[in-house]
Chain A
Amino acid sequence: MLLWEDQTVVLTSPRREERNMTELDDLVKEFLIESCENLDRLDQDFVALEKDSSDPERLGSIFRTIHTIKGTCGFLGLSKLESVTHVGESLLSRLRDGEMTTSSDITNGLLAMVDAVREILSSIESTATEGNGDYTKIIENLTRLKDAGSDAQVAHAAPVAKSVEPTATSGEIHDTFEPDTQTESVAQDTETHTDPAKTGVIAAAESSKSSDASAPSSALGGIRVDVGLLDRLMNLVGELVLARNQILQFSTTLENATLSGSTQRLNLITTELQEGVMKTRMQPIGNVWSKFPRIVRDLSQMCGKKIRVEMEGRETELDKTIIEAIKDPLTHIIRNSVDHGIETPEKRLASGKTEEGRLFLRAFHEGGQVNIEIIDDGGGVHLDRVKAKGIERGLITAEQAARMTEREILNLIFLPGFSTAAKITNVSGRGVGMDVVKTNIEKIGGTVDLQSKFGEGTTLRIRIPLTLAIIPALVITSGGDRFAIPQVSLLELVRLEPEQARKGIESIRGTPVYRLRGNLLPLVNLNKQLRTETPDGLNDGTVNIVVLQADERQFGLVVDEINDTEEIVVKPLGKLFKGLTTFAGATIMGDGRVALILDVMGLALNSNVVSDSKDSAVHESESKIKDTGSPKQAMLLFRVSDTRRMAVPLSQVARLEEFPRSVIEYSGGQQAVQYRSQIMPLISLSEALADPRLQLAANSQPEKPTGDTIQVIVYTSNESSIGLVVDRIVGVVEEALVVQRNIVRPGVLGSVVIEKKVTELLDVESVIRTVLPGNTAHTPALAA
């Protein structure tokens, strides 16, 4: 941000009579950009001033900003703007000199002036005239405020008199433009107006400046750079990175000391240059946040609420394009929080909270990504209401709703069509457009996560990548071609030797799965997805698994070979490929050949990992809802004896394990195994569920030691694990269940029909309660 002093220098020096058109245009442009930046800061200053009206520094800063704008207006012949700012300046000067103190009224009046200035500026930007807005009311109001402050001396210049014909003057100057097409000025919607980005220029020096916006930052070493130029530089650096990669690869084939020496230097310089150019595009997130205090102030006044905005990590930097992309979603979320999250003071007091609500914005870097959290201590999301809404909108059925986890219900908010439009206020409706927020964030490779506790508040967490242009990627080979996988989605690599692969990869109804440290990992064969074939000679039975994360879900991508990691420059695929969701783009590899970039999300969708199976959710004790919010429930099917086919919600299953019979030990008459440095009691389901009537039947002899191993469903409750021994795991199905409770037996919740077969629903807790009475103290986090 440039200092106001700079402006005066720039703007007053060419005070020549024969200014030519372009020079003037440049001046106007410069003026617009700088004024916009200053206005953004003004909003903050005013809001801060309202809290601490005695801060002379802030008053001084506000005064200077307005003074500068006014001064420049006169010079550029923008009389309307001048008359508005003039009266504001007079009022401010009295405030600054301590003749008056600020009040809510004064702040409102001054903010209205700032809005008017914005409106005029945006009109100048789009139509090159000051617009038709009528600002006499604002001017009168400000004059009244000023005069009301003291009974004495009103002798200052009464600016109302200065009503010159503004359109005519400015039209004269800019007659190259189309005069006055914008007849109706947009009302005070602050964020749709003139932000510096629209003018196409950012201050390059801004990224290095401290986060404290109130102190006028010194930018003497700064320079304004056109964004287009930065983009071109970025592209060139991208090309350079590619060329560097090629030379690096080439130099390894030639054993030449001089060449490899220079290559090393080239490598270093390129890396530094790349970082440097990326930095020029980085902006602190505070730039977006800076307008939130004002938005919150206005909204909370409108809703009769008291809200304090706190921020942490304003200096967290993001690529400019990403900053642009998150601006609107963030604003929307903030509005939601103010309008629907935080309660009215009376309500807050009644529920034992402080009168003033707290809206906390937090940003920080973590693992190459930026986390942004918007936390409010408001009423939280009313789960039942969301449920009811979901049913009303036809997104879920009542039965489905009854079985949904808290998290699944919360995520309904992000579904398109979930709108509380019925009681929409003029601010926002919780849920209105939240699907848009989600899609916008996802478009730039980010994720949104909502947590809420009814009565206590809501936390919305956004995770987004730092930059989009150059990304680290894992290069793999499949079907003889190389592919790049963005490293953001990469969790780990697993290599199975032929022997391990034969044993380790199992199949659930035709879908291969692998037990990764006990968690079921669905496997997706890349060759199968791409309809390519492993070249002969490579197929020695070794299996390479790339464990990927797509929308909270893990899956293993089976590829032919895993090559290396590399920084790649993402290039979009042309329109010709618009139907291909499997690829996110293409890049040029070190050897000059093109490689496709896999779209992990698209791959997951195409292979149904995300939409049709919930296998990967096994590892979490919490079941996670997927994108489509399908209300179906994933059930783990197993057999307890030959006759009993049973199911348990997958969300209750922590892990599946297989133990050799030899490791079973006894502890106080109870079967147990040592598992993860704990003693895990084993419950034989066939024993526990044995119906006394059936026990006499010959074929249901419990615990027939048939194999060398036992299959165990691990159930975790409060950090302690309990193993349920079953005869055989059948698989995972996903079905909307209709429970019939007509047959009630101990340990059985009821019967359901799964895949056209009657299946008993296991009541895990009651079984544990019966067999291990000491273990019931804690209720598991997610009871069905």
Chain B
Amino acid sequence: MPDDRQFCTFLVDGLYFGIEVFQVQEVIRFQEMTRVPLASPVIKGLINLRGQIVTAIDLRRGLELADRPEGSLPMNVVVRTGDGVVSLLVDEIGEVVSTDLATFELPPETVRGTARTLIDGVYKLKGRLLLVLNTDKAVNVC
């Protein structure tokens, strides 16, 4: 039975993540970025989103995953958070997925590290797991 939650999905280092659609402002292609020296390594830079300056956060670094291979450009998932509009850098954008509450589970205790705190739960979809990302926490890891 669907629970009316729809997720915008994306891939980060092979992991399948989702953010509830109402939190997502837009999804855009790779943007030129201005790096911010001295800032946390999680902050990849600043992008100009139609006159608005938006901070880009590298989810790979936030989740303590390996850096993106040279040459592959990330996509921007622009989300609205408590700290303003922030862009999350991801590898690849997936579809919008409707979920079924019956398939929801809290993340298993065995998941360790930062990822544990950033994931609100898991939907067991057919053939793959959808990890629900907590955007506010993801933004605050830096």
- A586 at the A/B interface (Cβ < 8 Å)? yes
Residue in contact with A594 in the complex, picked from B34, B40, B84, B139, CB distance below 8 Å: B34
Stretch in A451-459, A568-576, A758-766 touching the partner: A568-576
Q: A592–B34 Cα gap in the complex (Å)?
A: 11
Interface residue range, chain B: 20 to 34
Given A574-B84, A575-B84, A594-B47, also A580-B38 (CB < 8 A) = yes
| Contact between chains at B38 and A582 (CB < 8 Å) | yes
B51–A239 touching, CB < 8 Å: yes
In the complex, per-residue mask of B87-108: 1 if CB is within 8 Å of any chain A CB, else 0: 0000000000000000000000
**Bound: A575/B39 CA distance, A:** 12
Q: Which of A242, A580, A595 contacts B39 (CB 8 A)?
A: A580
Given A575-B84, A576-B139, A586-B53, are A593 and B39 neighbors across the interface (CB < 8 Å)?
no
Of the candidates A574, A580, A596, the one having the most CB atoms from chain B within 10 angstroms of its own CB is A574
Q: A586-B53, A588-B48, A588-B51 are in contact. Are A532 and B37 (CB under 8 A)?
A: yes
Mark interface residues in A276-313 (1 if CB within 8 Å of B CB, else 0).
Answer: 00000000000000000000000000000000000000
Are B53 and A593 in contact, with the CB atoms below 8 A? no
A residues in contact with B37, CB < 8 Å: 479, 481, 530-532, 582
Residues of B within 8 A of A479 (CB): 37
Question: In this complex, what residue of A is CB-closest to B33?
Answer: A594
Residues of A within 8 A of B48 (CB): 588, 592-594
User: In the complex, what residues of A have CB within 8 A of residue B33's CB?
Assistant: 594
Question: Of B34, B51, B53, B84, which contacts A481 at CB under 8 A?
Answer: B34
Q: Are B53 and A588 in contact (CB under 8 A)?
A: yes
A contact residues around B43 at 8 Å (CB): 576-577
Given A576-B142, A588-B48, verify A596-B36 contact (CB < 8 Å).
yes
Docked-complex contact A575 and B83, CB < 8 angstroms: yes
Counting CB contacts under 8 A, is A414 at the interface? no
Residues A574 and B83 in contact, CB atoms below 8 Å apart: yes
Q: Flag B29-61 by CB within 8 Å of A: 1 or 0 each.
A: 000111111111001011110010101000000
* Closest beta carbon of chain B to A246's beta carbon, Å: 10
In contact, B51 and A242 (Cβ under 8 angstroms): yes
- Is the beta-carbon distance between A593 and B84 smaller than 8 angstroms? no
**Please, how many angstroms separate the alpha-carbon atoms of A577 and B35 in the complex?**
12
Given known contacts A576-B142, A594-B47, A571 and B38 CB-to-CB distance under 8 angstroms: no
Interface status of A583 (Cβ within 8 A of chain B)? yes
Complex contacts, A595 vs chain B, CB 8 Å: 34
Question: What is the distance, in angstroms, from A763's C-beta to the closest C-beta of chain B?
Answer: 46
**Given A586-B46, A593-B48, A594-B47, are A574 and B55 neighbors across the interface (CB < 8 Å)?**
yes
Query: Chain A residues near B32 (CB, 8 Å)?
Result: 592-593
Task: For A581, give the chain B residue with the smallest CB separation.
Answer: B38
Q: Are B83 and A580 in contact (CB under 8 A)?
A: no
B36 to chain A, nearest CB (A): 6
Chain B residues whose CB sits within 8 angstroms of the CB of A580 once the complex forms:
36, 38-39
Most buried by A among B39, B40, B47, B142: B39
Q: How far is the CA of A595 from the CA of B36 in the complex (A)?
A: 9
Residues of B within 8 A of A530 (CB): 37-38
Distance in angstroms between the alpha carbons of A192 and B33 in the assembled complex: 46
CB neighbors of A among B117-142 (8 A): 139, 142
Decide if A576 touches B34 in the complex (CB within 8 Å).
no
Shortest CB–CB separation between residue B30 and chain A, in angstroms?
14
**B40, B47, B51 — which one has the most chain A CB atoms within 10 A of its CB?**
B51
Q: Closest residue of chain B to A591, judged by CB? A: B32
**A576 in contact with B35 given A239-B51, A594-B47, A594-B53 (CB within 8 Å):** no
Also in contact, A576 and B53, with CB within 8 A (given A481-B35, A588-B48): no
- CA gap between A571 and B52 in the complex, in Å: 9
Query: What is the chain B residue whose CB lies nearest that of A586?
Result: B53
The complex places the Cα of A693 from the Cα of B8 at a distance, in Å, of 90
Q: Which residues of B sit under 8 angstroms from A531, Cβ to Cβ?
A: 37-38
Chain B residue nearest to A532 in the complex (CB)? B37
For the complex, what is the distance from the CA of A607 to the CA of B33, rounded to whole Å?
27
Name the residue among B33, B35, B46, B142 with the largest chain A CB count within 10 angstroms.
B46
> Hey, which chain B residues are within 8 Å of A577, CB to CB?
36, 39, 43, 55
What is the CA–CA distance of A482 and B35 in the complex, to the nearest angstrom?
Answer: 10
User: In the complex, what distance in Å separates the CA atom of A83 from the CA atom of B51?
Assistant: 55
Q: In whole angstroms, what is the CA distance A530 to B34 when docked?
A: 14
Q: How many Å from the CB of A268 to the closest CB on chain B?
A: 21
- Chain A residues within an 8 Å CB radius of B34: 481-482, 586, 593-596
CA distance A39 to B2 in the complex (A): 64
Q: Among residues 452 to 483 in chain A, which have CB atoms less than 8 Å away from a CB atom of chain B?
A: 479, 481-482
Distance (whole angstroms) from the CB of B125 to the closest CB of chain A: 32
Q: Given A574-B55, A576-B55, A586-B53 in contact, is the A594-B46 Cβ separation under 8 Å? A: yes
Given contacts A573-B53, A586-B34, 7 further A-B pairs with CB under 8 A are A530-B38, A532-B37, A576-B55, A577-B55, A588-B48, A594-B34, A595-B34
Could you name 30 residue pairs across A and B whose Cβ atoms are closer than 8 Å? A239-B51, A242-B51, A243-B51, A481-B34, A481-B35, A481-B37, A531-B38, A532-B37, A573-B53, A574-B55, A575-B83, A576-B39, A576-B40, A576-B43, A576-B83, A576-B142, A577-B36, A580-B36, A580-B38, A586-B34, A586-B53, A588-B48, A588-B51, A593-B32, A593-B48, A594-B34, A594-B46, A594-B47, A594-B53, A596-B34
For the complex of A and B, 5 pairs with smallest distance between CB atoms: A530-B37, A594-B34, A594-B46, A239-B51, A575-B83
Binding site for A on B (CB under 8 A): 32-40, 43, 45-48, 51, 53, 55, 83-84, 86, 139, 142
